[in-house]
Each structure stands twice: as C-alpha cells, then as structure tokens.
Structure 1
Amino acid sequence: MTNPTHAVRGGLLAALALLTVGASAPARPAAVQGDWLYVSLTRGDARSSDTRGTLLLCDPPQGHGRATEACAELRQTDGDITRIPHRNAICTEIYAPVRATAEGQWNGRTIAYEQTFANACVMAARTGSVFALSD
C-alpha cells in the first residue's frame, strides 16, 4: 500500500518542477520584423526567482516605459549594450545584485548579453534605458 503523504508530496514536487521549467523560459517572438531584444532582470542571488522581462521592439519603439530612449541608445551603438555611454551617477555601495540579460536581433545580427551588476543604480549607469523595466 502506498503512503498517501508520500504520494501527495511526490505530486506536489512534480507540479513544482513543471511550473519552474515553464516560468524560466521567456516568451520568444515567433516572427518579429526589425530590431528587437527580449530583456529581463533578475534581482537577488542566483537562487532568486524574482525575474521579469519584456520584449523591446524598436521599429517603432515599444515594449516598456522608456522604449524610445532605449532604442535610440541601441541605434547609437549598433545594438551593442556594452558600448552605451556610461552615465555619471552616484550609486550607493549596497550590494543588491541584479542580473540583466538581453537576447534578440539587431540589424540582422543575433544579440546575446548577460551581466550581473552590484545594484540597480550601477546597472542603469552602464546600460542606459535598455533595462528600465517598469515596476
């Protein structure tokens, strides 16, 4: 005879595993024309599940509250996030890690970017408006 506690626990673990796999896969656009990036932010350490993201479209700019600015910054650097000019900012030295990722297409090239910053202020100073997702 099967122990009902073990059966319920096993079912819950299986359901949790399925939800985790489904939640970690970002939505990918099927057929998007023009320049686009799927941008996402994960706050906290590697075990965190505080991840959110959005599709940034640049033809015309849309996707988050500062899409126009983000697309303009990306156009100036030909889609290279690492070349966005750093802003002068006074950031605290509080460690609150933020992992920023971007995947997509720019001028027909595949873009893949991932960087972990000490905190959101440092990230904004180095990446401009690209990861300025609304709260």
Structure 2
Amino acid sequence: MRLRASLAVAAVLTLTTAVPAAAARSEEPVPDRSLFLTVSGSENTWIRGVALSCPPAPDARHPHAATACAALVAAAGDLDRLPGEPHLCTKEYAPVTVMAIGTWDGRPVTWRKTFPSACEADTLTGPVFRF
C-alpha cells in the first residue's frame, strides 16, 4: 500500500512540476518578424505590396510565405544576405525597386534596392519579393 501511495505522490509531483515548465516554454515571446514588402517599376510607374509575417499565418497573403520566411531566417533577417535562386535572365533593362519595411527579431528594418530587371531581382532575392 505504501508503495502505491509513494508512486501516486511521485506521479502528482512530476505532473505539477512538468506542467508549469511546459507552460513557461509556450509563453516565451515569439520574435517580431513582420515586413511590408514592395516591388515598383521604373519611376514608380506601378507598385505592388504585401505583408509578410514569419512564421506565416494560415491566411498569409504572400504567395510564397513559407519559403520567403525560410530564406529570411537563413539570412538572419539581413536582406543583403538572401540566398537567392540563381537562374538565367535576359539583358533587357527594365529596372525594378524592391523595398522592405518592418521589424525582424525586434530590430527595425528599412531596406531598398534597385535591380536592372524583375528577373535579376528574383535571382538575387528568391521568393521574398516574388508576389
């Protein structure tokens, strides 16, 4: 009988110490990783924009949200270090400007870069500005 009582007390103690630890882990703050991304044509003749939050919500508007977030995580949020997806582009000159404004891991982000073409932007930024 004492053995059963001891085992029951041990089980209760284990559960009462495990539950707060699990709850504490789930309450850790999730880093703010939210960016508003834009792509615009030469002299702002056209502009597109989309919000991206990482990890992406189920109703994310960015068509490649999961892979865009993965690329940003791989670059530690530094858009100059995006892994990109190299592929061939024509030498046509039709400049586009991409911009990101928001927060990554609590740090403010304001990033802007002009590329000779949409293809070159896609090659160097991968899925992040592919919308």
Q: Specify if TM > 0.5.
A: yes
* Aligned CA-pair RMSD: 1.4
Give the corresponding residue for 1:7: none
Deviations 1:50-100 (CA, angstroms, capped at 9, x unpaired)? 011011111335231001000000011111111012432110000011100
In structure 1, list runs of 5 or more residues that go unmatched.
Answer: 1-32
Provide the TM-score with structure 2 as the length reference.
0.70
**After TM superposition, what 4+ stretches of structure 1 lie above 6 angstroms from structure 2?**
none
In structure 2, list runs of 5 or more residues that go unmatched.
Answer: 1-30
* Residue pair 1:35, 1:57 contacting (<8 A) in 2 also: yes
Bigger share in helix? 2
Secondary structure of 1:130's partner? helix
Q: Does 1:54 align with 2:50?
A: yes
Residue identity over aligned pairs, in percent, reads 35
Provide the TM-score with structure 1 as the length reference.
0.68
Instruction: Measure the CA separation in 1 of the matches of 2:85 and 2:62.
Output: 20
Greater C-alpha Rg? 2
Instruction: Measure the CA separation in 1 of the matches of 2:120 and 2:54.
Output: 24
Q: Does 1:72 align with 2:83?
A: no
Secondary structure of 1:129's partner? helix
Instruction: Measure the CA separation in 1 of the matches of 2:69 and 2:80.
Output: 14
Work out which of the residue numbers 36, 39, 44 in structure 2 matches 1:38.
Answer: 36
